[in-house]
Each structure stands twice: as C-alpha cells, then as structure tokens.
Amino acid sequence: MLRYITAGESHGKALVAILEGCPANLLLSPEDINSDLARRQAGYGRGPRMKIETDKAEIISGVRKGKTIGSPIAIMLPNKSTELFNTPFTQLRPGHADLAGSIKYNQKDARNILERASARETAGRVAAGAVCRKFLSEFKIKIESRTVSIGGVLSAGMWEKMIDEAREKGDSLGGIFEVAVTGAPIGLGSYVQWDARLDGDLARAVMAIPGVKGVEIGLGFGAAAIPGSKAHDEIFYDKQKGFYHKTNNAGGLEGGISNGEPIIIKAVMKPISTLRTPLQSVDLATKAPSAAHVERSDVCAVEAAGVVGEAVIAFETARAFLNKFGGDSLEEVSSNYTSYLKQASVL
C-alpha cells in the first residue's frame, strides 16, 4: 500500500517526507524531485522567502545505485531560514490555524502552531509527489496544472498588475487552478465502497492543500445549471480507439472510477491569510484587541498551489494504480498492467 507522511517545521532544521510502498527498480535521482520543488517556489507574487530557500532534495533512504529498492523512501529538505523558529508571538492571525490550533493543543505561543500549519510543509508533499510522478511516467501517465484565474479575473495579462496593486496595499489575492491527468487507464478506483472512490480520494487530497476552499471535478458546480441531456458524456466505440467519449463533463471519473478520459480537477485558493496591512484580531496572552501578527509571506501563490495540486494528485493516482496493478517491483507492476490492457482490449 502506497502512503506518505511529512515532518518538520517551517523554520526548523528541515522538512522530511517519507514515502512507503513504492515498487523496487524505479530509476530515481534528486533531480527528479528538484525540478518540481523549483516549480513550487516559482510564480508571480511569491514572498521574499523564495529568494532564501533553494529547496534541494536529499534522498536518505530507499534508493541505492540510482534505483528504488522497495523500502521506505525518505527525503530531507533542509531549511536555510531558521532565525524565526524561536521567536514567539501571540497576536492571532485571522484565516490561519493560530486560534483553533492554540486552543486544541493548549499552546500559549502561536509560533508552535504556525511552524507546522505553514504552507511550507507542502514542499514535503511535492517531494513525495515527484516520486509518484516518476513512477506514473513509466506508464505514460502525465500530470500538469495551469492557473485559471487570479482575483476573479481570467485574463492572464492582468494578473501581474493586480498582484502588484495588492502588494502596494498590503493585501493578497487568491484564484483558481486546474490539474489534468492524462493517460490514466479505465478502471482506477471503485464504486464498491465509499472510501474506494477515486474522485473522493482526489477531492480530499486537493482540499487538504493549505488555502484551498473548494474543489470540483469536470463540469463541477456547472452541472447544477444544465439538464442531464447536456451534462452526461455520450459513449462511442471505435476499433482503433476502443470505448471513448466526445465530451468530458465528468472530468474523467464516473462512479468513482477513471473512465479513460483526462481527469480534470479545479480548486479555489483563498487569498493569502497573512497581510502586510494586518486585520484586527486579539492577543492570545492578554485577550486585548490587537493587530494580527505579520510574518513574511506571499501576495499570491495560486501558481504554486497548482504544483502542490499536481503532487497530491500524483500520489492519489499512483496509489490507485498500485491498488489495481500492485506488485513489489516495477517489472511486476508492468506485467500486471500489460495483462489488464490486453484483457480490456478484447472485452
């Protein structure tokens, strides 16, 4: 079973991702991970920390002589900026986990909440997802993202100006990103139990990205405004192509199962919660009114969130793939997959 966890704090010594269940004999190098880590740090509107950190993966277990060996893969991402780790604060920040986290974990210093709740943790998810992306590429499955809108505006030519204006005001902007999975075969996921549905796994993974407040698959919320005759994708058959659809309103998923079309997921990312012109709040220690704590942060990170979306979707897709075609080595998985494709072609 494929699974991963991350550990580490935003300004601590390092972030760590541990991926367990990756088959043996997959070619894997730090460069396979570093390219996605660099993309996560890119995008107009990112904050000053992106100029400090240059995330480079150090693979500390699970790989020998350039190949996975079947044991857990541990990846460490050292932090360069650690100076804030011992700096306390109590001025709660609206939109963050500061208030709820401080009460839940009985903490008097909101720094203890910020350090783990920070979106920097997603670097670990991107590292784990990069390994899954490399695995999926062996089967010609690709995952890409794009920014759909910023601040409600669809025109990309306006985005930089809008971000600049928000920066000058000490404000922030959110937007919508889209992730597409192409090449996934028919049959990933299941309708047999609610927790085996691939659409549910994908939606949960994307919803768990910091700042994401809404997820839709395919036509999504747009399906509420049209009749069924226009919402569903008619099915066709061709001797060369096999079964296929001319439209993809379902976003590649029907009954919780991939249907062979591209899997399309959109997500809404709220504006960054930390504002240079802080909102009104309360001091955790004194309970007196206070301006929210200001920490260096991004103005807009929608493009970066798309990269994180790619990573978590890569993991869920790889997990579903291994659940169906599982094996302990890449060769075994490949053999199972080839057998399935032959079976499907004569149905």
327: annotated binding-site residue? Answer: no
Percent of all residues in the chain with a pLDDT value above 90, rounded to a whole number: 94
296: annotated binding-site residue? Answer: yes
pLDDT at 296 (0 to 100): 86
Contact between 73 and 18 under an 8 Å Cβ cutoff? The reply is yes
213: annotated binding-site residue? Answer: no
Predicted confidence (pLDDT) per residue in 62-113, tens digit: 999 999 999 999 999 999 989 999 999 999 999 999 999 999 999 999 999 9
Tell me which DSSP letter residue 193 carries: S
Query: Where residue 50 falls among pLDDT bands split at 50, 70, 90?
Result: low
Predicted confidence (pLDDT) per residue in 11-37, tens digit: 999 999 999 999 999 999 999 999 999
119: annotated binding-site residue? Answer: no
Q: What count of Cα atoms within 13 Å lies in the side-chain half-sphere of residue 15?
A: 30
239: annotated binding-site residue? Answer: no
pLDDT at 54 (0 to 100): 84
Tell me which DSSP letter residue 222 carries: G
118: annotated binding-site residue? Answer: yes
Dihedrals φ, ψ of 212, to 5°?
Answer: -80, 130
Integer Rg of the chain from CA? 22
Residues across the chain = 347
276: annotated binding-site residue? Answer: no
61: annotated binding-site residue? Answer: no
344: annotated binding-site residue? Answer: no
Mean pLDDT of the chain: 96
271: annotated binding-site residue? Answer: yes
Predicted confidence (pLDDT) per residue in 69-83, tens digit: 999 999 999 999 899
270: annotated binding-site residue? Answer: yes
pLDDT at 48 (0 to 100): 72
Q: Which helix (H) or strand (E) holds 18?
A: strand 14-20
Q: Which amino acid is at 293?
A: H
- Round to whole Å and give the CA distance between 312 and 205: 6
- Token output for 300: 């807009």
Stronger pLDDT, 255 or 345, i.e. the higher one? 255
Q: What domains lie within the chain, and their CATH numbers? A: 3-345 (3.60.150.10)
Q: Which helix (H) or strand (E) holds 17?
A: strand 14-20
Contact between 86 and 115 under an 8 Å Cβ cutoff? The reply is no
Residue 261: how many CB atoms within 10 A of its CB? 23
Predicted confidence (pLDDT) per residue in 138-171, tens digit: 999 999 999 999 999 999 999 999 999 999 999 9
- Round to whole Å and give the CA distance between 313 and 180: 9
Q: Name the pairing type of β-strands 263-269 and 289-291.
A: unpaired
Q: What count of Cα atoms within 13 Å lies in the side-chain half-sphere of residue 335?
A: 7
What 3-state DSSP class applies to 337? helix
274: annotated binding-site residue? Answer: yes
